[in-house]
């Protein structure tokens, strides 16, 4: 099956040089092999396929998308927990894509991760004090007394009792465990914290506690977050800018208000209209745009625009032939990848299905 | 006469640590063709309520009292044989996780046919097959004839949940119990499934008992709502009234802790602490919510409030000692987004 080659993408945003993290056209393909002795590659899962974005210091970039869109793989590539197949990751103006493990080690202090599952991400056989202190010990930060004091301080910062130092993870509830995960990430004073679905396993009331905590910590310690979630409400609450991913590609990237008030990509529009609104009157009055079908396989993604088989605005002969590149749509700083972006929002179901070609600014985008 | 009337339902489990009072005096009713949403956090007893109604608790370790009258028959007193006739036929259930609730070693078609044949003696195998294809089409599975030959692992999560719904509806049940049917799914798939359930309800006239922790889903689909906390109903009423004029601090917390697309708030309302243990003897005395409640008064620690109708709305019940004007004032604050600053 012929694959559409990955076009070298122009950076769809200006970088000023003081970004904390720049991800430049990163791809991650997982090979699919056949055979036991002579393994030959028969294909690849294109989990992340050319994603570029930049994160400024002190901001929160939200990443949303359905399961299987590559958001977690992207996060692991950023952290160098996975080796990207191609592309560049620049952290504090230093290209870290090709650094060796030893070279990476001091940098790992500055980027930490909070994982989704608070049950699986804490070692059940270690005490909380050890779990939180481990990073401090690895980086040789402080004497044992100092480490202990620091850990107790951290436990307090995340809203746990410092006396919990000697307990095991199973003695805590899901929300408290996620607090331990946050304390562990904070231990070495990182610049960047990548949160991979940190609240999706929690109940709403506990989820609110963790979200408030993350916001408070950002204010107090000047943290920068990359916040991955599938819940659009949560992402909107915490993010300054939001990136929407679909099948390994970024389809739209904008400030929070631009994206939620005036989404341009039909996929973003469909996602937004699918979110249940906890208000019976508003929720039932609005017109939903319901997508049909499922996310296609990333092994053999649809040609050109990957969203075209599910897109209500699909135009035959254009969307399935020519791939839309990520380029400016609408207001400044708002980029999207669509030939027929939404004209306004909210939009009726009929208008949604009646695409108009993109205005000149989006059509001319590869040139600049 | 309601289709399902649950009266003072209580379920206890014997565990190594003692007796757990998982459901403690729950009453509600579901009318024909209506949807009742039960909301609450994990451990509030909402799933056990449904399992008890369906008679699916382990009989050796659990004990249930009260009644669940379905078409004027008490489900809790039914013989196992009669219960088997009712289950999957007049009442059916959709579980949360579509991966584990289908049998992985049989084709989807075979599992659907089984459900038909078990409950209908006069149906031939080919009729049953035709019926299962019809249902798979009704739930929107493309190429339904061919897909009956497929195994569950060949379907995606959303498609599996559709198969579960097809299986639940195949005998035209009067009552469909759905335990978090969309929790494991993406928003777009969730919207598909909720639309589908709504459409099928209109076509088949089934009543739905929907368990969820997502107030957004309840607002979209339910006619009546029951809010459960620590094994008890804390508030119940019509969906519009409950969302417009919530009366219980726990409901305020649930509503306020939800980030919303249509509101800008800097901080979310947070309910401090964790839900209590339901072990007998460990349940907080007085109002069960008082240790986490921001409005706690002395009386709350001693006397458990009764589930009483709200002033001016006798269909809307709540279990709280606060004065009516305090409740209305705080509900108004919540609606304007000002409650979070206070918490």
Determine contact: B188 vs chain A, CB below 8 A.
yes
Distance from C-alpha of A11 to C-alpha of A13, rounded to nearest angstrom? 5
The pLDDT value recorded for residue A1 is 41
Residue A173 to chain B, least CA–CA distance (Å): 8
Shortest distance between the Cα of B246 and any Cα of chain A, in A, equals 12
Instruction: Provide CB contacts within 8 A for B224, sequence distance 6+.
Output: B28, B30, B34, B35, B36, B37, B236, B237, B238, B239
CB A121 within 8 A of CB A113: no
Q: How far apart are CA A225 and CA B43, in angstroms?
A: 31
Q: What is the DSSP string of A220-279?
A: HHT-EEEEE-S-HHHHHHH-SEEEEEETTEEEEEEEHHHHHHS--SHHHHHHHHHSPPS-
In this prediction, residue A7 carries a pLDDT of 43
Beta strands in B299-340 (DSSP E): 308-310, 313-318
Distance, CA of B107 to CA of B150 (rounded, Å): 5
Pairing between β-strand B18-30 and β-strand B224-229 as defined by DSSP bridges: unpaired
Name the nearest CA neighbour of B63 among B120, B105, B9: B9
- A291 part of contact set with chain B, CB < 8 Å: yes
In the 8-state DSSP scheme, what is residue A312?
Answer: T
pLDDT for residue B143: 86
Using CB atoms, pick whichever of A230, A278, A290 lies closest to residue B192: A290
> Is residue A262 within 8 Å of residue A344, measured between CB atoms?
yes
Query: Taking CA atoms, what residue in A is nearest to B222?
Result: A280
Task: Quickly count: other Cβ atoms within 10 Å of residue B117's Cβ.
Answer: 14
- Chain A residue with minimal CA distance to B341? A212
Every domain of chain B with CATH number 3.40.50.300 lies at 4-226
- Which residues are registered as beta bridge partners of B9? B26
Q: Does residue B226 contact residue B37 with C-beta atoms inside 8 Å?
A: yes
Helix, strand, coil percentages (3-state) for chain A, rounded to 5, are 30, 20, 50
State the count of interchain CB pairs (< 8 A) between A and B: 128
Nearest-angstrom CA–CA distance, B38 and B108: 30
Contacts of B158 in chain A (CB under 8 A): 294
Q: What angle do CA B133, B136, B137 make, to 5 degrees?
A: 85
Contacts of B129 (CB under 8 A, 6+ apart): B109, B113, B148
A276 near B CB under 8 A? yes
Q: Which of B219, B241, B267, B340 to mutate to test the interface with A (most CBs of A within 10 A)?
A: B219
- Mean pLDDT of the residues in chain B: 90
CA distance A3 to B137: 33
Angle, helices A266-274 vs B187-204, to 10°: value is: 50
> Are residues B195 and A290, on separate chains, in Cβ contact within 8 Å?
yes
**What does A153-195 look like in DSSP terms, one character per residue?**
HHHHHTT--GGGGG--GGGS-HHHHHHHHHHHHHTT--SEEEE
Write the ipTM: 0.83
The minimum CA-CA distance between B335 and chain A, rounded to whole Å, is: 10
- B213 in A contact zone (CB under 8 Å): yes
pLDDT of residue A368: 40
Q: Is B126 on the interface with A (CB under 8 A)?
A: no
Tell me if chain A has a CB within 8 Å of the CB of B98.
Answer: no
Cβ contact B257–A205 (<8 Å): yes
- For chain A, count helices (H), then strands (E): 12, 12
Which of A212, A231, A284 is closest, CB to CB, to B270?
A212
The whole-angstrom separation of Cα B197 and Cα B206 is: 10
CB contact (8 A) between residue B257 and residue A276: no
On the 0-12 / 13-18 / 19+ scale of CB atoms within 10 A, A94 is exposed
By the CB < 8 Å criterion, does A215 face chain B?
Answer: yes
**Contact at CB, A278 and B187, closer than 8 angstroms:** no
Give the pLDDT of residue A5.
Answer: 41
Which residue in this structure is represented by tokens 């009729």? B127
The model carries a pTM of 0.86
pLDDT at A357: 67
Question: Phi and psi (nearest 5°) for B127?
Answer: -65, -40
Specify the CATH class of B4-226 in words: alpha beta
Taking CA atoms, A363 is separated from A12, A321, A337, in Å, by 13, 15, 10
Tens digit of each residue's pLDDT, chain A (368 residues): 444 444 444 455 566 667 899 999 999 999 988 888 888 888 889 999 999 999 999 999 999 998 888 999 999 999 999 999 999 999 998 999 999 999 999 999 999 999 988 888 999 999 999 999 999 999 988 899 999 999 999 999 998 888 888 999 998 888 899 999 999 999 999 999 999 999 888 888 888 989 999 999 999 999 999 999 988 999 999 999 999 999 999 999 999 999 999 999 999 999 998 888 888 888 888 777 878 777 888 888 898 899 999 988 888 889 989 999 888 887 888 999 999 988 888 777 777 777 776 554 444 444 44
pLDDT tens-digit profile of B186-238? 888 888 888 888 888 888 889 999 999 889 899 999 999 999 999 999 999 99
Chain A residue numbers touching B270 (CB-CB < 8 A): 205, 208-209, 212
Closest listed residue to residue B321, CA positions, set B239, B233, B234, B226: B234
> Which chain A residues are Cβ-neighbours of B243 within 8 angstroms?
278-280
**Is B239 an interface residue toward A (CB < 8 Å)?**
yes
Q: What is the b/e burial string over B219-239, where b = at least 16 CB atoms within 10 angstroms of the residue's CB?
A: bbbbbbbbbbbbbbbbbbbbb
A21-35+42-367 has which CATH code? 3.40.50.300
Give the distance from residue B120's alpha carbon to the nearest chain A alpha carbon, in angstroms: 33
**Among B190, B253, B262, which would you mutate to test the A interface (most chain A Cβ atoms within 10 Å of its Cβ)?**
B262
A138 touches chain B (CB under 8 A): no
- Express each pLDDT in B240-295 by its tens digit: 999 999 999 999 999 888 888 777 778 888 888 888 888 888 899 999 999 999 99
Closest CB to A278 among B42, B192, B215: B215
Buried b (16+ CB within 10 A) or exposed e, B298-332: eebeeebbebeebeeeeebbbbbbbeeeebbebbe
- The domain limits of chain A are 21-35+42-367
What confidence score (pLDDT) does residue B1 get? 74
Provide φ and ψ at A147, rounded to 5°.
-60, -45
Q: Nearest residue of B to residue A285 by CA position?
A: B220
Q: Is A161 on the interface with B (CB under 8 A)?
A: no
Which residues of chain A form beta strands (DSSP E)? 21-34, 40-55, 60-64, 86-91, 94-95, 111-114, 192-196, 224-228, 241-246, 249-255, 327-328, 335-336
Residues of A in contact with B189 (CB under 8 A): 66, 294
């Amino acid at each position: 099956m012929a694959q559409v080659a990955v076009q070298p993408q122009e950076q769809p945003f200006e970088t000023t040089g003081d970004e904390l993290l720049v991800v430049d056209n990163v791809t991650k393909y997982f090979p699919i092999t056949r055979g036991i002795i002579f393994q030959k590659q028969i294909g690849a899962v294109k989990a992340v396929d050319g994603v570029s974005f930049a994160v400024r210091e002190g901001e929160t970039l939200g990443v949303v998308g359905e399961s299987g869109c590559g958001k977690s793989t992207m996060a692991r590539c950023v952290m160098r927990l996975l080796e990207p197949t191609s592309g560049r990751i620049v952290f504090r103006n230093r290209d870290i894509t090709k650094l060796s493990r030893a070279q990476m080690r001091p940098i790992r202090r500055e980027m930490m991760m909070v994982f989704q599952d608070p049950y699986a991400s804490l070692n059940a056989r270690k005490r909380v004090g050890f779990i939180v202190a481990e990073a401090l010990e690895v980086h040789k930060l402080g004497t044992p007394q100092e480490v202990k004091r620091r850990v107790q301080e951290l436990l307090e910062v995340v809203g746990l009792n410092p006396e919990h130092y000697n307990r095991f993870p199973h003695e805590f509830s899901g929300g408290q465990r996620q607090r331990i995960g946050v304390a562990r990430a904070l231990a070495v004073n990182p610049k960047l914290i990548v949160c991979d679905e940190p609240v999706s396993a929690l109940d709403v009331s506990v989820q609110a506690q963790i979200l408030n905590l993350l916001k408070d910590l950002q204010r107090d310690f000047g943290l920068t977050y990359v916040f991955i979630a599938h819940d659009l409400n949560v992402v909107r609450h915490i993010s300054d800018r939001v990136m929407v991913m679909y099948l390994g590609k970024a389809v739209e990237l904008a400030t929070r208000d631009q994206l939620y008030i005036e989404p341009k990509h039909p996929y973003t529009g469909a996602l937004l209209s699918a979110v249940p609104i906890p208000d019976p009157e508003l929720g039932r009055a609005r017109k939903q745009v319901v997508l049909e079908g499922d996310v296609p396989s990333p092994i053999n993604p649809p040609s050109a625009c990957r969203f075209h088989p599910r897109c209500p605005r699909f135009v035959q002969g254009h969307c399935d032939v020519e791939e839309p590149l990520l380029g400016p749509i609408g207001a400044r700083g708002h980029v999207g990848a669509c030939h027929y972006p939404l004209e306004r929002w909210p939009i009726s179901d009929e208008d949604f299905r009646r695409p108009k070609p993109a205005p000149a600014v989006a059509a001319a985008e590869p040139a600049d | 006469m309601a289709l399902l009337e649950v009266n003072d339902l209580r379920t206890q489990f014997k565990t190594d640590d003692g007796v757990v009072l998982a459901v403690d005096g729950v009453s509600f009713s579901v009318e024909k063709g209506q949807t009742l949403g039960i909301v609450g956090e994990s451990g509030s007893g909402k799933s056990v309520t449904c399992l008890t109604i369906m008679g699916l608790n382990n009989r050796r370790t659990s004990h249930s009292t009260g009644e669940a009258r379905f078409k004027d028959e008490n489900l809790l007193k039914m013989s196992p044989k009669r219960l088997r006739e009712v289950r999957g036929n007049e009442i059916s259930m959709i579980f949360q996780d579509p991966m584990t609730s289908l049998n992985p070693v049989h084709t989807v078609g075979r599992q659907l046919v089984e459900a038909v044949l078990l409950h209908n003696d006069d149906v031939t195998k080919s009729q049953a097959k035709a019926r299962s294809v019809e249902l798979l089409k009704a739930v929107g599975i493309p190429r339904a004839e061919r897909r009956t030959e497929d195994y569950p692992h060949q379907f995606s999560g959303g498609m599996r949940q559709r198969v579960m719904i097809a299986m639940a509806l195949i005998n035209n049940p009067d009552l469909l119990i759905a335990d978090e049917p969309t929790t494991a799914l993406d928003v777009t798939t969730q919207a598909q499934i909720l639309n589908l359930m709504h459409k099928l309800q209109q076509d088949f006239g089934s009543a739905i008992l929907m368990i969820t922790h997502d107030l957004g889903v309840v607002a979209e689909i339910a006619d009546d709502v029951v809010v459960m906390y620590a094994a008890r109903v804390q508030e119940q009423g019509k969906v519009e009234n409950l969302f417009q004029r919530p009366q219980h601090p726990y409901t305020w917390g649930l509503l306020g802790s939800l980030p919303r697309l249509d509101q800008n708030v800097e901080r979310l309302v947070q309910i401090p602490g964790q839900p209590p243990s339901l072990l007998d003897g460990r349940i907080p005395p007085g109002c069960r919510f008082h240790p986490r409640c921001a409005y706690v008064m002395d009386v709350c620690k001693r006397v458990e409030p009764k589930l009483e109708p709200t002033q001016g709305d006798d269909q809307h019940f709540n279990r709280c000692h606060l004065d009516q004007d305090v409740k209305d004032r705080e509900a108004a604050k919540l609606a304007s987004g000002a409650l979070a600053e206070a918490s």
